[in-house]
A and B are shown apart, each in its own frame.
Chain A
Amino acid sequence: MTDIVQPIAVAPTRKPPALWTSIRRNPTIFIGGLILAILTAMAIVAPLITGDPLRMTPAQRLRPPSEAWWFGTDQYGRDIYARTIYGARVSLTVGISVALVASVIGLAIGLICGYFRRVDAIVMRIMDGIMAIPSILLAIALITLTRPGLGIVLVAIVIPEVPRIVRLVRSVVLSIREQPYIESAIAGGTRGFKLLTKHILPNTMAPLIVQATYVCASAMLVEASLSFLGAGVPPEIPSWGNIISQGRSFFQIAPWSILLPGAFLTVTILAVNLLGDGLRDRLDPRLSRRM
Chain B
Amino acid sequence: MNQHDPNAPSLEVTNLVKHFPILGGFLQRQVGAVRAVDGVSFSVRRGETLGVVGESGCGKSTVGKTVLKLLEPTSGEIRLGGIDVTKFSPGQMWDHRRRIQTVFQDPYSSMNPRLKAGAIVGEPLQNFGIASGSDLDDRVAQLFRRVGLRPENMKKFTHEFSGGQRQRLGIAKALSVNPDVIVADEPVSALDVSVQAQVLNLMIDLQEEYQLAYLFISHDLAVMRHISHRIAVMYLGRIVEITDKRTLFTRPMHPYTEALLSAAPIPDPKKKRERLIIQGDVPSPSKPPPGCHFHTRCPFAIGACKEIDPPLLEIAPGHHVACIRRPVGAAPEPLTRTN
Contact = CB atoms under 8 A, between A and B. Distances in A.
A5 interface: yes
Interface residues of B, number: 44
Given A7-B149, A188-B127, A180 B114 contact: no
A179 B124 CA distance: 18
A187 interface: yes
A155 B160 CA distance: 45
A188 B94 contact: no
Given A5-B148, A8-B148, A13-B156, A190 B68 contact: no
B109 A188 contact: no
Given A4-B205, A180-B106, A188 B101 contact: yes
A194 B165 CA distance: 26
B173 interface: yes
Q: Which one of A6, A13, A285 has the greatest number of beta carbons of chain B within 10 Å? A: A13
A38 to B, nearest CB: 33
Contacts of A1: 209
A180 B104 contact: yes
Q: Which one of A4, A10, A179 has the greatest number of beta carbons of chain B within 10 Å? A: A10
A52 interface: no
A184 B150 contact: no
Interface residues of A, number: 29
B65 A183 contact: yes
Interface in B143-176: 145-150, 153, 156, 160-162, 165, 170, 173
A34 interface: no
Interface string A1-38: 10111111111010000000000000000000000000
A191 B70 contact: no
A5 B160 CA distance: 20
A185 B102 CA distance: 10
A282 interface: no
Interface in B199-254: 201-202, 205, 209
Nearest to A194: B127
A191 B205 contact: no
A152 to B, nearest CB: 39
Nearest to A3: B145
B78 to A, nearest CB: 14
B148 A7 contact: yes
A186 interface: yes
Given A1-B209, A189-B94, A184 B145 contact: no
Contacts of A186: 70
A5 B97 contact: no
A257 B118 CA distance: 61
A249 interface: no
Contacts of A13: 156, 160
B149 A8 contact: yes
B178 to A, nearest CB: 13
Nearest to B70: A183
B112 interface: yes
Interface in A241-291: 285
B123 A190 contact: yes
A184 B102 contact: yes
A191 B209 CA distance: 30
A187 B209 contact: no
Contacts of A179: 109
Contact of A187 (B102, B115, B150): B102
B128 interface: yes
Nearest to B90: A191
Given A7-B145, A7-B149, A180-B106, A185 B70 contact: no
A7 B144 CA distance: 9
B126 to A, nearest CB: 9
Contact of B111 (A8, A10, A184, A187): A184
A203 interface: yes
A61 interface: no
Contacts of A199: 112
Q: Which one of B110, B165, B170 has the greatest number of beta carbons of chain A within 10 Å? A: B110
21 contacts: A3-B148, A4-B202, A5-B147, A7-B149, A8-B148, A10-B153, A13-B156, A179-B109, A180-B106, A180-B109, A181-B111, A184-B102, A187-B97, A187-B100, A187-B102, A188-B124, A188-B177, A189-B94, A191-B90, A199-B112, A285-B113
Given A8-B165, A10-B156, A188-B173, 5 more contacts: A10-B153, A10-B160, A189-B98, A190-B123, A191-B94
Interface of B: 65, 68, 70, 90, 94, 97-98, 100-102, 104-106, 109-115, 123-124, 127-128, 145-150, 153, 156, 160-162, 165, 170, 173, 177, 198, 201-202, 205, 209
The 10 closest A-B pairs by CB, nearest first: A5-B148, A189-B127, A188-B124, A180-B110, A7-B150, A10-B153, A187-B102, A181-B112, A180-B104, A189-B97
